[in-house]
Structure 1
Amino acid sequence: MRQEDDHSVLFGSGDELPSNHSSNSHFNELINTGLARRQVLAGGAALGALAFLGAALPGTSEAAPAADTSQAQPLFRPRTRLPFTPVAISRADGISVPAGYQATPFIPWGTPITGSYPAFLEDASNSAADQAQQTGMHHDGMHFFPIDAQRGRGRSSDHGLLVLNHEYIDAGLIHPSGPTVMDGKRVSAEEVRKEINAHGVSVVEIRRNPLGDWEVLPSARNRRITAATPMQIRGPARGHALLQTRYSPDGTATRGTQNNCANGFTPWGTYLTCEENWAGYFASRDSALPRELSRYGLRSSSRYGWETLAGDEFERFDATRKAAHAAGDYRNEPNHFGWIVEIDPFAPESVPVKRTALGRFAHEGLVFAPVKPGRPVVCYSGDDSQNEYIYKYVSRAKYRPGRSNGSLLDDGTLYVARFDANGRGKWLALDIHDKAFQKACRAAGVSFADQGEVLINTRLAADILGATKMDRPEWGAVNPDNGEVYFTLTNNSSRSEGDAANPRPANAYGHIIRWRERSWNYAGRSFTWSLFLLAGPESDSLGPNGQPLNADNLLASPDGLWFDPEGRLWIQTDMSGNQLRSGPFGNNQMLVADPKSGELKRFLVGPLGAEITGISATPDFRTLFVNIQHPGEGSTAGNLLSTWPDGPGKRPRSATLIISREDGRRLL
């Protein structure tokens, strides 16, 4: 998600303004304090952190040793695992994939999937009720559930449920002539309901027909979950006084999920959608904000102005104190967001659940460590805002195949990462019963009433523990070959220029970090870390093979991240502004890396203004699903900056790409 637009303007980007004012170390400061080459993790083509300082790395003309350094390295070059010709950089308004592949747009915004299946109208005159029966706007994180995966892993590759997030809306496109605003306020309840219904999640049953084409089935499983759908709150914060509202006086229920960015999926076959830049949907005119609002960047005006309309369905976006008690207004409504929401895609009647044990922040996604019977489940999530943190959750109970369910995500310990300068790191427990946490709270002069309050104030709790500020942690992925965890750090424009401790001041290009847990079950408190890739132009970058990036793999602002079953890392970018309009990078793209050899190639380039995001595949690895979000970003009805995917004169629409080989074989 972007972080450069003007936040003072109605209908701005909605990204959070930096709100971390703690004195905790930045990640780049740790690098500058002397991480040596010998401290970089082995395991693939390792990248020495000294490259940040402009130092030459010896032996960078070939890949670094593999994890097992006791074995002699082969004298021959191994056969490539990336057998395709890299796609060239492009600024065309279309899709580029390698020769021998095909990419077909599928289920664009407005595709009818449920109810009366209302057709999408090209002038965007569909009603709010129509939108609640159509795919939402701005596709993002996504997962394909084989139709036989009700209890976990499935095998079907021709029939399943495609579940996808819809991050936000472009107000200038979703209505025929844009939104109706008078004196800075919204005046049409119908327009706002349509915008609310375009957020959330779509569950779509799809099947390959006899001709080999994928199609939407008219299924009872098809479902739209929106920013108004009733939901339950579970975990330590359930029933907390800070969750009491006029809608839910006991703090156990809520309405809607919004700004759903990346995702996750559980070993027991459910979908996890992650609430990212949710704070901009709310406004508070109170002169002093409590810490659970101020630390998350709440402001006096909202992104879309929904709270300016009368009626309970809209007034809930106004967090101003209006009553004597919390149960009489919506001062606590923002506390209902910033969570991870669990959805059972195979049970359309089920109520989505917000899992508070996983923490409250701008969740980009959730990725699980390898799951084994009899062990706790472990998962990781990044807080996608400038100078925020990376978190890990460890369940208290053990995973039992066929018996475990979402309750594993309600009782456990949430940790935040501290990256040390010696190439090691610590997981710091955000646990009110942990002695180190209690000591840190006393030293900071901060107190929490209970664990629920700790989790509602996750960012503050992490500040107190001295977690390491990161450059917008986004997607995570776990290498199936060796269990290393990879995370994208997209960029950080707020880093001070000229700071001697910052090797890349105002980090515009981003990088990818990885770590290896030192415990056999991933549940321990220590890890070792290294850098995998420095994004940027050829003059300021370093690839996984230790060489600068080149015409075949230049990238900036890495965002989406996914390992395929054979251990190849797929990297998606989210450049914006000048990086898209000029310079060496072209449109946003998707690349594939082989961590074993250090090879990196560009596989896809998207249309004008679009982000490449969301990725999943069928079990046979013959079909890849990839989302194209906000083509022609910034378009209005009278100024179309892209016309993908429908062609000249048509409004741009986010859509899913179906990618396959023309010969029908496995993708790679």
Structure 2
Amino acid sequence: MSIEQRDQLVYVDNGAGDEPLSTREMNPLFSSVLEARLARRQVLKGSAGAAALGFFGLGLAGCNSDSDNDDAGDAPAADLLGFSAVAVSTADEIVVPEGYSYQVIIPWGTPILGSFPSFSVNNTGNDQAEQVGSHHDGMHFYPINDSSEDGLLVLNHEYVEPRLMHASAQGVSLSSGATPPLVGGLRPADEVRKEMNAHGVSVVRIVKGANNQWSVQPDSMNRRITALTPMEIHGPVRGSDFVKTLYSPNGTMTRGTLNNCGNGYTPWGTYMAAEENWAGYFTNKGDNPREHSRYGVPSGTGRWAWELADNGADEYIRFDASIKAADATGDYRNEPVCFGWMVEIDPFDPSSNPKKRTSMGRFGHEGVVFAPAEEGKPVVCYSGDDSRFEYIYKFVTAANYNAATANGSMLDEGILYVAKFNDDGTGEWMPLVYGENGLIEANGFTSQADVLVNTRLAADFMGATPMDRPEWGAVDPANGDVYFTLTNNTRRNDSNLNEANPRAANNHGHIIRWKEDGEQAATTFTWDIFLFAGDAGESGVENNKGSDPNGNDLTAENILSSPDGLWIDPDSRVWIQMDSGWDDPFGNCAMLVADPTTGDLKRFLVGPIDQEITGITMTPDQKTLFINVQHPGEGTSGDQFAGGSYSSTWPDNTPSTRPPRSATVVVWKNDGGVVGS
């Protein structure tokens, strides 16, 4: 989304803004750190960027080093980034480095199961349930029999662009977030069903054929999980009064998953879908409890007005969370509490119900990243709450990992922590546990279920550090260092700076990094700032100037804005994906790669017009890379749309018959080598 769209506080006329309203009162933030910041920049060659590398003298233990390689001597490290950086691009195409090729696969509407209906704007809601969903996002490749040429590609579908989906929208001036005009104050039920079925997750078997070309394989494991799929509620919230509804009076089930942005993959081989900006899908026209208000459930029409489906069916009216009955088992006042969780899906068992793991907290999950599991130790994972001034969390299982027996039940018991980043470069993980540290009834918390349902409020109470929109995380498999993208925060100002978020009017964002003190499950850590996104100084605005991991000014090879997607491959390359909404001087959204040892940073790929690069995964041999292109042509104006034209026609380039569509891009090195090398 563009910066302007992200600045919206509420959903207006079903606009495309994708950040939920957050109504909390701000924690008291640290006082101005301007003098300390300037002093540090003098040490760091005048850079506003790689802040803590100089601040900590020798940098983080384990960062920019390999303490386990005692026999390496002073030999220089091998160059991880063996490609030539691609230039900034504004073309409506994919750009990859010299010596690389790509293929576009599974665009929105690709048939994968059932009757295999071909894509058409006239597809029904049931057709969409048999096709790949819309607005591709987080993704993981699950090899079949350890193959790098045959596997399940599992991917999220974050949201929809209704104007592209329905024949009733054609010829009407509609913005990217608008729905077709209401009919008698209502929405046609099948249009609502189609939008619901375009959400969720796709599981697709893909096979590599001749000339590196991949294709969909009809298979019983192909599956669509949507906003209508039955799901189980697990963990401390299961069966509590918070999630009892007309659909599930005992509070053990719900339907669907929404706004799945980033993802995760567990050590035992399942997939985690993150529910991010789910709150705006609902409406509450009466009593708005803190379980709704702190998360941004609006009092007006829901984001897509699903509650106004003209047949009044139960699966649609549940998006109206107003009190309508004598108790919660007679209406859907609790339906919003059934969302905001991490959802576990077994990609190899299409008959299994997805499971919402409530121990991991309820907020705007951008995704979840697991540290490498170690036998006999707890499983540790991290998640960011993608909204301005929200927090970074860590979950540590109660049970220790055993590869032979581990499964998703491990995620139902453990401790959820929230991060506090101290100005001196240290940090602590504060447990969100009922009965501890003031999380008691006298302060408004009645149980562990209450703490988890109101995770944001518990984190507020604990005094966690408000961050600049924490998005994707990644863990370096070589040393356990954890990285998180902080995409941007234009509302931070000089009065609420802190060392972890040191730029006022942070248009372009940064990446923070930390190392746990000892075990991955430790409750303290040491942090630094890996890089600052921005331009190369062309604008003359200090806060817009970026710097690489070595503190050097960014150049034409690596300027970037709004880092969002993040992944670290088995060789420790740090892949960084843009979601900027900026054109000049950054061009179309791109993907860059950093070497954390040398500090090198290069642009690897640029996407088409008005999109974001997101989702990233590789085959086990690292010779095939998959990424997603989301919402190409999103910047098409209402008038352009009414006239049948688009700012982007990617990937089909046939605007008269097919609109721009999100799709997956496969990238490989022509010499058959490891991608990025």
Say whether the fold is shared (TM-score over 0.5). Answer: yes
Match of 1:662 among 665, 670, 674: 670
For the residues of structure 1 that align with 2:367 and 2:427, how far apart are their CA atoms? 21
The residue aligned with 2:219 is: 219
Amino acid at match of 2:557: D
For the residues of structure 1 that align with 2:404 and 2:473, how far apart are their CA atoms? 26
Q: TM-score, normalised by structure 2?
A: 0.89
Amino acid at match of 1:632: G
Contact 1:417 1:468 in 2 (8 A): yes
Change (3 A) 1:220 1:105: same
Change (3 A) 1:11 1:189: farther
CA deviation digits over 1:535-567, x for unaligned, max 9?
Answer: 001121111121011100000000000011101
Change (3 A) 1:48 1:411: farther
For the residues of structure 2 that align with 1:472 and 1:558, how far apart are their CA atoms? 10
Amino acid at match of 1:15: E
Match of 1:461 among 425, 437, 458: 458
Decide which moves more: 73-82 or 649-658: 73-82
CA deviation digits over 1:430-484, x for unaligned, max 9?
Answer: 00133x244xx58xx5221210111000000000000000000000001112110
Contact 1:382 1:391 in 2 (8 A): yes
Match of 2:398 among 396, 399, 411: 396
Match of 1:549 among 550, 554, 579: 554
For the residues of structure 1 that align with 2:34 and 2:316, how far apart are their CA atoms? 47
| Aligned: 1:560 with 2:565 | yes
Amino acid at match of 2:630: Q
The residue aligned with 2:149 is: 158
The residue aligned with 2:266 is: 266
CA deviation digits over 1:58-87, x for unaligned, max 9?
Answer: 999xxx963659999998865522111101
The residue aligned with 1:111 is: 110
Change (3 A) 1:666 1:285: same
The residue aligned with 1:303 is: 303
Change (3 A) 1:308 1:30: farther
Contact 2:50 2:548 in 1 (8 A): no
Match of 1:359 among 358, 361, 380: 361
- Listed as ranges, the gaps of 5+ residues in structure 1 are 149-154
The residue aligned with 2:649 is: 643
The residue aligned with 1:169 is: 160
Cα displacement (A) at 1:412: 0.4
Contact 1:47 1:532 in 2 (8 A): no
The residue aligned with 1:151 is: none
The residue aligned with 1:491 is: 488
The residue aligned with 1:152 is: none
Cα displacement (A) at 1:311: 2.0
Amino acid at match of 2:631: H
Q: How does 1:50-89 map to 2 (within 5 A)?
A: 66=65, 78-89=77-88
Structure 2 counterpart SS, 1:192: helix
For the residues of structure 2 that align with 1:46 and 1:428, how far apart are their CA atoms? 35
Find runs of 4+ consecutive structure 1 residues off by over 3 angstroms: 28-38, 45-53, 55-60, 64-79, 183-186, 496-503, 634-637
For the residues of structure 2 that align with 1:92 and 1:504, how far apart are their CA atoms? 31
For the residues of structure 2 that align with 1:69 and 1:46, how far apart are their CA atoms? 30
Amino acid at match of 1:423: G
Amino acid at match of 1:95: I
Q: How does 1:362-401 map to 2 (within 5 A)?
A: 362-401=364-403
Q: TM-score, normalised by structure 1?
A: 0.90
Contact 2:536 2:559 in 1 (8 A): yes
Cα displacement (A) at 1:498: 7.3
Q: How does 1:404-483 map to 2 (within 5 A)?
A: 404-434=406-436, 436-438=437-439, 446-483=443-480
Match of 2:522 among 521, 524, 540: 524
CA deviation digits over 1:32-59, x for unaligned, max 9?
Answer: 7669869x9xxxx999878669x99999
Cα displacement (A) at 1:175: 1.2
The residue aligned with 1:195 is: 195
Amino acid at match of 1:567: S
Match of 2:17 among 13, 21, 27: 13
Structure 2 counterpart SS, 1:538: coil
Contact 1:609 1:642 in 2 (8 A): yes
Contact 2:187 2:305 in 1 (8 A): no
| Aligned: 1:616 with 2:629 | no
The residue aligned with 2:209 is: 209
Cα displacement (A) at 1:15: 1.9
- Listed as ranges, the gaps of 5+ residues in structure 2 are 170-178, 538-544
Change (3 A) 1:76 1:272: closer
Contact 1:37 1:50 in 2 (8 A): no
Contact 1:46 1:530 in 2 (8 A): no
CA deviation digits over 1:311-368, x for unaligned, max 9?
Answer: 2111100011111101111110000000000000000000000000000000001001
For the residues of structure 2 that align with 1:459 and 1:373, how far apart are their CA atoms? 32
For the residues of structure 2 that align with 1:56 and 1:352, how far apart are their CA atoms? 45
Structure 1 counterpart SS, 2:25: coil
